[in-house]
Amino acid sequence: MNLRALIAALLLTLSAWSSAVAAPEGQLTWAVHVSLAPAWFDPAETVGIITPFMFLYALHDALVKSMPGNALAPSLAESWTVSPDSQVYEFVLRKGARFHNGEPVTPEDVKFSFERYRGAGAGHSRRGSRVSTWSIRSGSAFVSSSPGPTS
């Protein structure tokens, strides 16, 4: 068999094989070999290293989060607005969002979580220090306000 015939056969085989490969589907199982620390399940108690955040990302939802192709993708917040001076953020919570026990997620729950994170981070100079108030504007809106320009 000459070289041209061999290359042609190889290309034909590869093209047939690549068209037969199915698109990704199903479930991804992800395994990480670490020893779990109980504090890793609580965002307010987690230390600032990357390992606990792998678990937090899997267990907890955020108002917005980074997704492929979208640095600020909707998550618990279906939409949000930012004031022209970037000091006030208003988030509209996704309808039908529920906790693991079936109870609905409310703006009061979000406010509680942010205030709790701020209290837990009181000893840290950056955690929670850029937001001065959290308030609830309506049944589905949550507002955070900053005291001044951020750097």
Domain ranges of the chain: 34-145
pLDDT of residue 60: 79
Residues with pLDDT less than 70, the chain? 1, 3, 6, 8-23, 118-131, 139, 142, 146-151
- Does the reported pTM lie above 0.85? no
Nearest residue to 106 via CA among 73, 134, 142, 75: 142
Q: Which residue has the tokens 């079936």?
A: 102
CA 148 to chain centre: 26
The chain-wide mean pLDDT, for the chain, equals 77
pLDDT of residue 20: 55
* Residue 122, CA atoms < 13 Å, CB-side half-sphere: 4
| Beta-ladder partners of 70 | 67
Q: Judging by DSSP bridges, how do beta strands 77-82 and 141-145 pair with one another? A: unpaired
**Rg value, the chain, Cα:** 23
The fold of 34-145 is Dipeptide-binding Protein; domain 1 (3.90.76)
